[in-house]
Chains A and B, each alone.
Chain A
Amino acid sequence: MNSADRATLTRLLLERGLEVSCRQDAAAPPGHDPSLAASVLVANFGGVRPPAPASGVRIVDSEGIDPASLAVAIEREADQSSGGAPAAWKPWFPVIDYSRCTNCMQCLSFCLFEVYGVSAESKIQVQHQSNCKTDCPACSRVCPEVAIMFPKYRHGPINGEEVKADDVRREAMKVDISALLGGDVYALLRDRSVKAKSRFSKERDDERALKERQSCLIALQRDLDVPAEVLAALPSPEEILAKVEAARVRALAASETASLDTKD
């Protein structure tokens, strides 16, 4: 196979979600662990029947086949070998830079979808990646240490770009503003909710209540770059407050355990 066809075939296989290992010796699959060996071996055997494959390895002879047809044949073999293609899922989830993370638990408190949890050693970790809302980088925006990345995000430093002094200053400023507003963002939300409840119970104006919620959501969307569909999927204000309380208790318990561990 010439180099142009090889490049095309590699691209087509990658687009089908298949890993590709280009090797000099077709008899030597990649890796040292037999369980990690290639499941489909592709080579030009010149139409001659190749030797019996190792267990679990299927063989495709590339002799005289164009890259597009070859990709289809390989995918078919790979599906048979693995029992079907993996489910399509856009891998959007937070990645923690532990060289910056101070284990402050802000992300755990903030995320309403329980993406974060703590390890047995009371260390913050991403535990439920698939709960994360696609294209929502809000937790990385509340992280005071710029320690949370979304590698597929458009802009730095959330995309993994090196963190600059300005980024840290901006985060510090954000935290200060949050403090000025009354301790933390959830305290602010809770106050807003209580005030709104009292106002609306007096006025019984559903339309106004809806407008209030919409303007609050628009402000959140603008400030945190949260996609509209994520906001649309948010639970009711009461459910949010219940989740906030639960997250706060978890974060507090984790912080206290971590603090005890440090003292020990």
Chain B
Amino acid sequence: MTTHAARILYCHCAFARVVPPEVKAAVLTGLSEADVEFDAVPDLCEMAARGDARLRELAADGPLKIAACYPRAVKWLFAAAGAELPERAVRVWNMRVEPAAAVIDGLLDRDGSAGDAPVAGRSL
């Protein structure tokens, strides 16, 4: 299992069917097959609603790659929990609209986006 410079956070978006289940399954499989370290949470919305301290810990812990939904929503969900995401150090892949392969490639730096310039995914 390898450690990436940026932590990887995956949101399973429970409680709603807005993220296609096949995309979620493929992203989880891709992360497991790549043997990388990652954090997976049942639902970022729920964590934000609870003001979960984990969100503040994740936001403060350096570069972060997030597989979830729309970047604008993710940014303000963190903010709702009192966690300010550092804009330049966070990138978000939207599983509602992006294909699983693009999400995986981005999370694993296979899309050539490991440098500063955002190639795929959305900087905040």
User: A residues within 8 Å of B by Cβ?
Assistant: 3-4, 6-7, 10-11, 14-15, 17-24, 30-33, 35-36, 89-93, 95-98, 126, 129-130, 149, 151-154, 156, 159-163
A2 to B5, CA, bound (A): 24
Give B58's nearest chain A residue, CB to CB.
Answer: A31
Tell me whether B69 and A159 are in contact (CB under 8 A).
yes
A-B contact count (CB 8 A): 130
Tell me whether A97 and B53 are in contact (CB under 8 A).
no
A127 to B35, CA, bound (A): 41
User: B residues within 8 Å of A by Cβ?
Assistant: 1-3, 12-16, 18, 24-25, 28-29, 31-33, 35-46, 48-49, 53-54, 57, 61, 69-74, 76-77, 79-80, 96
Question: How close is B57's CB to chain A, nearest CB, in angstroms?
Answer: 5
A256 to B76, CA, bound (A): 26
Instruction: Give the chain A neighbours of B45 by CB distance below 8 A.
Output: 91-93, 151-152
Instruction: Give the chain A neighbours of B24 by CB distance below 8 A.
Output: 11
Instruction: Give the chain A neighbours of B1 by CB distance below 8 A.
Output: 22-24
Tell me whether B57 and A33 are in contact (CB under 8 A).
yes
Instruction: Give the chain B neighbours of A95 by CB distance below 8 A.
Output: 48, 73, 76-77, 80
Identify whether the interface residues of A are mostly helix, strand, loop, or mixed: loop
Tell me whether A149 and B72 are in contact (CB under 8 A).
yes
Which single member of A6, A14, A36, A163 contacts B53 (CB below 8 Å)? A36
Which single member of B18, B54, B71, B79 contacts A36 (CB below 8 Å)? B54
Which single member of B28, B38, B39, B73 contacts A11 (CB below 8 Å)? B28
Tell me whether B40 and A90 are in contact (CB under 8 A).
no
Q: List 7 A-B contacts (CB under 8 A).
A: A14-B12, A14-B41, A23-B1, A30-B39, A89-B49, A90-B16, A160-B69
Which single member of A15, A31, A160 contacts B14 (CB below 8 Å)? A15
Question: How close is A22's CB to chain B, nearest CB, in angstroms?
Answer: 5
A126 to B45, CA, bound (A): 13
Tell me whether A20 and B69 are in contact (CB under 8 A).
no
Give B96's nearest chain A residue, CB to CB.
Answer: A159
A152 to B73, CA, bound (A): 10
Tell me whether B54 and A91 are in contact (CB under 8 A).
no
Question: How close is A91's CB to chain B, nearest CB, in angstroms?
Answer: 4
Tell me whether B57 and A98 are in contact (CB under 8 A).
no
Tell me whether B70 and A22 are in contact (CB under 8 A).
no
Tell me whether B72 and A162 are in contact (CB under 8 A).
yes
Question: How close is B116's CB to chain A, nearest CB, in angstroms?
Answer: 22
A98 to B54, CA, bound (A): 22
Give B68's nearest chain A residue, CB to CB.
Answer: A151
Tell me whether A159 and B70 are in contact (CB under 8 A).
yes
A50 to B72, CA, bound (A): 44
A14-B69 contact given A4-B32, A98-B76, CB 8 Å threshold: no
